Structure 1
């Protein structure tokens, strides 16, 4: 437009005809009408957040604040019917946005009250609202879908997504499996509250995160239950467990509700560890600071239904009766991973290193090996029967896993815990306790990365030199020099 105005000024006024002038005014008016008052068009949100290990996961242009999922599952047919109402805020002017959804058949999409155009390409469900969304606008997207949910075998090997079991199903999402059973912004950097309503056939029950809002039985014997999670939750921590569970509710001395769902075949073997949940909660609060959620508990399924434990928010999932050290590990994740959630999967050690060290602390506080003894044994490679890490813990630095296939490997766990112990050696027990409690409190219900953590440690211990820990233990290749 600048060059056009200059050409007009160069023409003598007497040579400009009235029709030409009117044409120019009309063209300018049409241009303003097309651009809108702000002169800014909406554009599509990014189809991924460019996570260094899972670049296709997550989506740009919006922030989800709440998921309202209504599900019905037929275990015999392995058929899931779902409606996802997703409330989000646009972080840019949006003409289109993506949701992550693997498999399943989409039957319709609306944005607000208007039908929206949509298309599928791999895991990407692209939604085009009838009208562009303005930056800062809150909007609701409804997706109706159905089909047989997929079990995903990811690069890090364990099966995830929707896992059919003999009496129902189990939904586990780390790191990318949650997109197998509901559409969403499936990256840990976008946390939201949840309402999950599940209808299941007679004889089985459904358990999820948070607290139960209601449970009702239909005339044909089906049960519909709704679970509510008020605190922000990353989608990989959402779960639905369907089966013949015995579900109990108790409370701790502080009044915190404890919801436990146990497969009847595991009830006797689990009794002892479950009875110690109040004790473990008291210990964890003393060690890590205030608990960030409104309930706790566990889901214990049969070991032949799933072969790993996962720190699903408010109540972790276990394959059979867990050892107390494993329970402590998963419980610690409620602080480190669930409340303080990594900004990207590269920061996985902030989850697993902390949870591993928590189990070391439990041992130390309950008459077992001290954290120093465990550290020394790991460094020597003298691990007994409790670990198969061996020299594998030096395969890569915990803050730089060598690709998506290794974000859950031994260096992330054991060497990550060793980084924490090196910090403890450097600052002393009192300051170290302040660091681990303060870290959980400062970033409560938020996201953080490794740079945030190292800066926090240095702030909490001014005058201390951490360069060797960061250079050799956190980011360094190979086995560090002997401590």
Structure 2
């Protein structure tokens, strides 16, 4: 299999090496995991021990460790994850076993260059609540799905200047550093398994279980789906091992997805280089709480997997959200708006008749940037309608539905505003310059984290200070 992580990419005759920058902490997760499906007596759960080895490559001592435990996000309800006796090579006070953030004090502190080892036993129950950040269970007719995401404690994101405890409770979904994963996963043999990481060996046990040995040298998480009543459809595109898991009744949709992947992956690779994936799992599921969920190189859809634009957007997260992740929760627009922009690029490329607004060359006399600051909402909306179309419309406020409007406004700012700013940048600077900007950004930060200023500096590198400043302004105008 081609290793997508070490390939070199070329644009405009310049070769850009794919560099994977280590974080301030070198993190190894070694998990022993057992999946237990529902019975008449018990709910389904997944249990095991997370053996974590952390090398302190920072310049400061570590006095504590912070782990994210998504299953325990709601203090008003019983924890989904039970954390038993924690063992640590640097013993200290442990708190927050029943909370979203688990804190382990380190004594003595771990100095620069030293290693700390932690064993965290856990037992996490699947829920049917439909929360897209939790492991969920669902069934329909003769099919059953267990969506195993965020089921084990994972180290919180360690910034270049250390821990940021105030950030860790803002989202149920964990925000973590890239790490190495090794796992022994034991599952009843009658379940079909889709695992985001590569399987090195598969052993049939006399107990009626199958043990999978799993390894991934550089990823953000390990996810799996356990299924009865569906089929697995293997595919290989550009050296990527793809597994599509769906009901037999969805064979038509599977064929549509296979055909779409044959176009999408080469297109995205041409625009953004190779993503950080050797494997991709795409599955159908139930009660997941969203039309689709992406965690690293694992995508699960509610029911139908052939979901048009949503599929294009979720696949784009292999580049924006996995290969490059935002370095803070507040920077999540870099994941969502860039995925929207990527799906827009692909949609435009598939049109038989090009749009009148083709962006093939810089547009003469289109003086976008200086006038943006003076635009009111009506001017802004009309401009976007003229350039992009009806998808540019902002959410509409309706009296009596303030909460829904606020949610819509949040989604609009996270998904749409940044995408529109990228499209306007392309309109201003032209296709070729925009492709260089996107390729440079994608390759420079592959396997790393990035923030808004990182991208704006790439714009500045290939245009000038004024264009970069105007792009920043476009992000905050509407």
Establish whether TM, by shorter chain, passes 0.5.
Answer: yes
Alignment match of 1:145 (pick from 122, 125, 129): 122
Alignment match of 2:109 (pick from 132, 143, 148): 132
Provide the aligned C-alpha RMSD in A: 3.6
- Is 1:193 equivalent to 2:180 in the alignment? yes
Cα distance change of structure 1 residues 120 and 470 upon mapping to structure 2, 3 Å threshold: closer
Task: Give the 5 Å matches for 1:226-305.
Answer: 226-233=213-220, 235=221, 238-244=222-228, 245-252=230-237, 254-295=238-279, 297-302=280-285, 305=288
Cα distance change of structure 1 residues 98 and 467 upon mapping to structure 2, 3 Å threshold: closer
Alignment match of 2:153 (pick from 168, 182, 186): 182
Q: Once the 2 structures are TM-superposed, how far is the Cα of residue 343 of structure 1 from its aligned partner? A: 0.7
TM-score (norm 1): 0.71
Alignment match of 2:421 (pick from 419, 422, 425): 419
Q: Once the 2 structures are TM-superposed, how far is the Cα of residue 304 of structure 1 from its aligned partner? A: 5.2
Could you say what secondary structure the match of 1:193 adopts? strand
Residue segments in structure 1 that go unaligned for 5+ positions in a row = 1-60, 173-177, 396-403, 479-483
| Larger Rg belongs to | 1
Task: Give the 5 Å matches for 1:43-54.
Answer: none
| In 1, Cα distance between equivalents of 2:383 and 2:184 | 45
Cα distance change of structure 1 residues 105 and 189 upon mapping to structure 2, 3 Å threshold: closer
Which structure exhibits the higher relative contact order, with contacts defined as CA atoms closer than 8 Å and separated by 6 or more residues?
2
- For these two proteins, the number of residue pairs brought into alignment is 392
What do the CA deviations read for 1:49-107 (whole angstroms, capped 9, x no partner)? xxxxxxxxxxxx97352222222122213232121011212343234323222232222
- Is 1:97 equivalent to 2:65 in the alignment? yes
Alignment match of 2:94 (pick from 106, 115, 118): 118
Q: Once the 2 structures are TM-superposed, how far is the Cα of residue 382 of structure 1 from its aligned partner? A: 11
Cα distance change of structure 1 residues 420 and 108 upon mapping to structure 2, 3 Å threshold: same
Alignment match of 1:219 (pick from 194, 200, 206): 206
Alignment match of 1:309 (pick from 289, 292, 296): 292
Alignment match of 1:159 (pick from 127, 132, 139): 132
| In 2, Cα distance between equivalents of 1:100 and 1:305 | 20
| In 2, Cα distance between equivalents of 1:286 and 1:327 | 18
| In 2, Cα distance between equivalents of 1:353 and 1:371 | 23
- Is 1:204 equivalent to 2:191 in the alignment? yes
- Is 1:428 equivalent to 2:405 in the alignment? no
| In 2, Cα distance between equivalents of 1:210 and 1:68 | 13
Could you say what secondary structure the match of 1:108 adopts? coil
Match of 1:10 in 2: none
| In 1, Cα distance between equivalents of 2:49 and 2:356 | 48
Alignment match of 2:310 (pick from 326, 334, 339): 326
Cα distance change of structure 1 residues 393 and 357 upon mapping to structure 2, 3 Å threshold: farther
Could you say what secondary structure the match of 2:206 adopts? coil
TM-score (norm 2): 0.72
Residue segments in structure 2 that go unaligned for 5+ positions in a row = 1-22, 73-78, 158-173, 360-379, 399-405
Cα distance change of structure 1 residues 270 and 248 upon mapping to structure 2, 3 Å threshold: closer
Q: Once the 2 structures are TM-superposed, how far is the Cα of residue 124 of structure 1 from its aligned partner? A: 3.0
